[in-house]
Structure 1
Amino acid sequence: MDKSGASPTRWLPVAVIMFGVGWGANQFASLLGLYTERLHLGGGAAQAMFGVYALGLVPGLALGGPASDRFGRRRVALPSACASAPVTLVLMAGSAVPELLYAGRLLAGVVTGAVLAAGTAWVKELAPGPGVRATALAVSAGFGAGPLAAALVAQWAPYPLVTAYLPHLAIMAVTVPAAMRVPDVRPVRRARGGGGLRLGGLRRPAFRGAIAPVAIWTFAAPTSAFALLPTIVPVQHAPIVHSGLITALTLGSGMAAQPVARRLEARHPRLVARAGLAAVTAGMLAAALTVVLREPALNAAAAVPLGLGYGFVLTYSLGETARIAAPDELAGLTAVAYAVIYAGMFTPLLLTVLAEVVPMALLLTVLSGLAALCLLRTTRQAVFRS
C-alpha cells in the first residue's frame, strides 16, 4: 500500500482491459488472407476492411479523450471497453454477411480509440512513474497476441471465421469486471462558461514539428510487415499460422524495443525517435527485397526491424505527448497523437491501390527513402538544439 492506503498496482486492471481491447482491435489482421480466399475478396477489399478501423479511431479518439478530461476516465474507458465484445460479435457475423466486416472494423476503431485515449491518461494518473510504459506494453501485447491466437484457432478449428474470435470474448468477460473496481483519481471538471475543450499542445512546434512526423510511422511500419507482405508473398503450408506468426513477431519486436527505448529516453528523447526511424528505413528496404525475391522466409527479416521501429516510435510519440501536455488536455492531446499514429494503418491499402500502376518493390523503397528523410530531419533538429 502507498501512503494513501491505495494499492500501488491498482492501475493493473486498467492496463489489462487495454490489453484486451488491443487484442480485439488486431485479431482481424492474421485473417486477411482467409477472408480474401473464403469471401472471394479482391481489389484491396481486405486491406480496406483492415484500414477502415482507423476511420473509427477518429471519433473514438476525438470524443473519448477530451470527454474523459472533462467527465473522468472511468466514465469513458469502462463503457467503451464493455462494447468491445459486442463489436467482436459483429465481426463473427461478417462470415455470413461480409458487409458487416466494414461495420465491425469501424466500430472496433471507435471503441479502441476511446479506451486508448481515456485509459492511457487513467493509467498515467494512477501510476505517474510506470503509467505510460505499462500502457504501451499492454496495448502492444494485445496487438501481438490477438492475431496469433486467432491464426492458431483459424488454421485448425472448424468454422474458422467464427471460432477465431472466441478467445477475445473470454478475455473481455474476465477483464472488464476487474477494472470496474478501479477508482478515478482525478476530480471531474465541469465545463466553464461555454468554453470549449482546448488543446494548446497542438499549437506547439514540439507537436507539429517533432512528434507528428515521427508518429505517422508507428503503424505504417508494422502493418506493412503483417497486413501486406503475407498477402503478396504467401507460404504454401499453414498460411494462416504464418500470417499470425509474422504479426506476433512484428509486434513482439516492438515490445522488446520499448525497454531499450526507455533507456535511450533517459539520455534524450530524440535518440528514441532516431533509432525508430533508422529501423523503419532498414525494414522498408528489407520488405522491398522480400517482394523482389518472393521469398516468404524473408518476411521475418522485414518484420523484425519494422517491429523495432514501431516500438521505438510509439514510445517516443506517447512519451513526448505526455511531457508537453497540460494536465487538463492530457487525454485530448493523447487522442490527437493516437490519431496520427493510427493514420499509418492505411498504408497497406494505399500501397495495394498504387501497386496497380507502380511496382510494389519500388513503392516500399520510396517509403524507405521517406523514413530516411524524417530521420535526417530529426537528426538535424537534435544537432541544432544541442
Structure 2
Amino acid sequence: MAETRWFPIASIMFGVGWGANQFASLLGLYTERLHLGGGAAQAMFGVYALGLVPGLVLGGPASDRYGRRRVALPFACLSALVTLVLMAGVAAPGLLYAGRLLAGVVTGAVLAAGTAWVKELTPVSGTWMTALAVSAGFGAGPLVSALVAQWAPDPLVTAYLPHLLIMLVTVPPAFRVPETRVRPDGGAVSPEGATGASRLSGVRHPAFRRTIAPVAIWTFAAPVSAFALLPTLVPVRHLPIVYAGVITALTLASGMAAQPVARRLEARHPRLVARAGLGAITGGLLLAALTVAGDLPVLNAVTAVVLGTGYGFVLTYGLGEVARIAAPSELAALTAAAYALVYAGMFSPLFLTVVARAVPLTAALIVMALLAAACLAYVSYGTRTAVTECSARR
C-alpha cells in the first residue's frame, strides 16, 4: 500500500487539471452564444493565469511551511465550487471571468502543494507522475466537455457536470494520505521550512535562470495556440465543438506520450530534453503559421501533435530540473515559481489575437517560432555553463 499512497493525490491533481482546462473547448460556443468578440473569449481563457500566479506564489511557500495537506486538500474541494461559478456564467457572463480567475488560484495552490507531496511520497518517479496526471486532466477535460456540449441540452451548463462527479470521487480518498512535511516529533513542519521557503534561494540558482526559465515560458505558450486559437481561426463546418475538443485532447495527449520518452532521454542528459522540446515547439509554431496562411484545418491536427510533443518534453525537463536543484525546505515554493513561468503562456492566444489587429497572424506566429529558436540556442549554451558551475561548486 505504501507504494500507492501517491495515487489519491495524483487523482485530485488530475481532477483539478480537468477543471482548469474544461473551458478551452467551449471558447467558440461562448463566442457564438454570448456574442463575445474582440478577444473576450481569449481574455476569459487567459485570466486564469492571473489567478494562477498568486495561487502558486502563495500556495507553494504555504505548503512548505504548514504542510501539504493543509493547502492541497482545501483547494481541491474549492475546485468543484469554481465549476459551479462557471456553470452560472451562462446567465451572468461576468461570472466567467471570476470563475476563470478562481480556477487559476485553485489550480496553482494544488499544483504547487500536490507536486511536492507526490514527489515526497515517491521520490523516484513522483515528478513524472504528477506531470502525467495533470496532463491527462488537461487533455480529458476539454474533450469530454466538448462531447457533452455538442449533443447535450444546455451545453454551457451540462458540459461541466463530469468535473463535479470526478471531484466527488477523487477528493475523499486523498484525506487518508499522510502528511510528508513533518518534524521528527510529529509536528506540522520543520522550523527550517518556515524560513527556507521565504528565501527561495533556488530561484537565484544559475540553472533556474539560465536553463529552466527560458524553457518553462514555452511550456504552454506554444501548445495553447494550437487548441485555444487555431480551432476558432481555422474552423471546420461539421461538429466544430467536438473538433475543438479533439484538437485540445490531441495536443495534450501528445504531451503525455512524449513524457516517457523525455524521461529516458533525460537519463542521458537533461540538455537533450530541453533541446528536443524547444526544437519541436519551433517547428510546431511554423506549422501553425502555415495552417493559418493556407486555411488548412487538417494541418491543425499535425500542429497539435508537434506542439504537444514539445510541451511534454519541456514540462518533463523543467519539473525534473526543479526537483534536482531545490532544497527540501523549498521544493513546493520553487516548483510554484517554475509553474508560474509555465502558465504565463496561457496569455499567448490573447496576445496573438491583439497583435493580429496590427500585423498578419502568420507573421506573429513566425516571430514566436524565431523567439523559441533563440531560446533553444541560449539554453544550449546556458546548460553547459550551468552544469560546469554546479560541478565546480561540488
Per the normalisation by structure 2, the TM-score is 0.95
What does the per-residue CA deviation read over 1:322-346, in whole Å, with 9 as the maximum and x for residues that have no partner? 1100010000010000000000010
Structure 1 segment 214-363 matched on structure 2, within 5 A: 214-363=215-364
**Displacement, 1:192?**
7.4
Residue 37 of structure 2 corresponds to residue 42 of structure 1? yes
What does the per-residue CA deviation read over 1:90-145, in whole Å, with 9 as the maximum and x for residues that have no partner? 00000110000000000000000000000000000011111111000000000000
Structure 2: state its 5+ residue gaps.
183-187, 389-394
Q: State the one-letter code of the partner of 1:171.
A: I
**8 Å Cα contact 2:64-2:181 kept in structure 1:** no
**Displacement, 1:185?**
2.2
Aligned to 1:178: 173
Q: Which of 67, 71, 80 does residue 76 from structure 1 map onto?
A: 71
**Displacement, 1:379?**
2.1
Query: Are residues 328 and 298 of structure 1, via their aligned partners in 2, closer, same or farther at CA, if it must alter by over 3 Å?
Result: same
**Displacement, 1:382?**
4.6
**Displacement, 1:381?**
3.3
Q: Distance in 2 between matches of 1:17 and 1:145?
A: 14
**Displacement, 1:194?**
9.0
Structure 1 segment 192-231 matched on structure 2, within 5 A: 197-231=198-232
**Displacement, 1:248?**
0.3
Structure 1 segment 355-374 matched on structure 2, within 5 A: 355-374=356-375
Q: Which of 57, 70, 95 does residue 100 from structure 1 map onto?
A: 95
Q: Distance in 1 between matches of 2:289 and 2:364?
A: 8
Aligned to 1:164: 159
Q: State the one-letter code of the partner of 1:32.
A: L
Q: Distance in 2 between matches of 1:59 and 1:298?
A: 37
Q: State the one-letter code of the partner of 1:12.
A: F
Question: Aligned residues: percent identity?
Answer: 75
Aligned to 2:21: 26
Residue 134 of structure 2 corresponds to residue 139 of structure 1? yes
Aligned to 1:54: 49
**Displacement, 1:59?**
1.2
**8 Å Cα contact 1:202-1:333 kept in structure 2:** yes
What does the per-residue CA deviation read over 1:274-307, in whole Å, with 9 as the maximum and x for residues that have no partner? 0000000000000000000111111111111100
Structure 1: state its 5+ residue gaps.
2-6
SS in structure 2 at match of 1:43 = coil
**Displacement, 1:380?**
2.7
**8 Å Cα contact 1:256-1:311 kept in structure 2:** yes
Q: State the one-letter code of the partner of 1:64.
A: G
Q: State the one-letter code of the partner of 2:123.
A: P
**8 Å Cα contact 1:71-1:190 kept in structure 2:** no
Q: Distance in 2 between matches of 1:326 and 1:247?
A: 35
SS in structure 2 at match of 1:184 = coil
Structure 1 segment 141-156 matched on structure 2, within 5 A: 141-156=136-151
Q: State the one-letter code of the partner of 2:128.
A: R
Aligned to 2:189: 189
Query: Are residues 362 and 162 of structure 1, via their aligned partners in 2, closer, same or farther at CA, if it must alter by over 3 Å?
Result: same
**8 Å Cα contact 1:30-1:247 kept in structure 2:** yes
**8 Å Cα contact 2:22-2:141 kept in structure 1:** yes
Q: Distance in 2 between matches of 1:73 and 1:194?
A: 13
**8 Å Cα contact 1:276-1:308 kept in structure 2:** yes
Q: State the one-letter code of the partner of 2:300.
A: N
Q: State the one-letter code of the partner of 1:44.
A: G
Query: Are residues 171 and 288 of structure 1, via their aligned partners in 2, closer, same or farther at CA, if it must alter by over 3 Å?
Result: same
What does the per-residue CA deviation read over 1:179-203, in whole Å, with 9 as the maximum and x for residues that have no partner? 1110112213366799572100111
Q: Distance in 2 between matches of 1:99 and 1:377?
A: 42
**8 Å Cα contact 2:10-2:130 kept in structure 1:** yes
Q: Distance in 2 between matches of 1:81 and 1:193?
A: 23
Q: State the one-letter code of the partner of 2:167.
A: M
Over the residues paired in the alignment, what is the CA RMSD in angstroms? 1.4
Q: State the one-letter code of the partner of 2:189.
A: R
SS in structure 2 at match of 1:304 = helix
Residue 39 of structure 2 corresponds to residue 8 of structure 1? no
What does the per-residue CA deviation read over 1:21-75, in whole Å, with 9 as the maximum and x for residues that have no partner? 0000000000000000000000000000000000001111011100010110001
**Displacement, 1:383?**
5.4
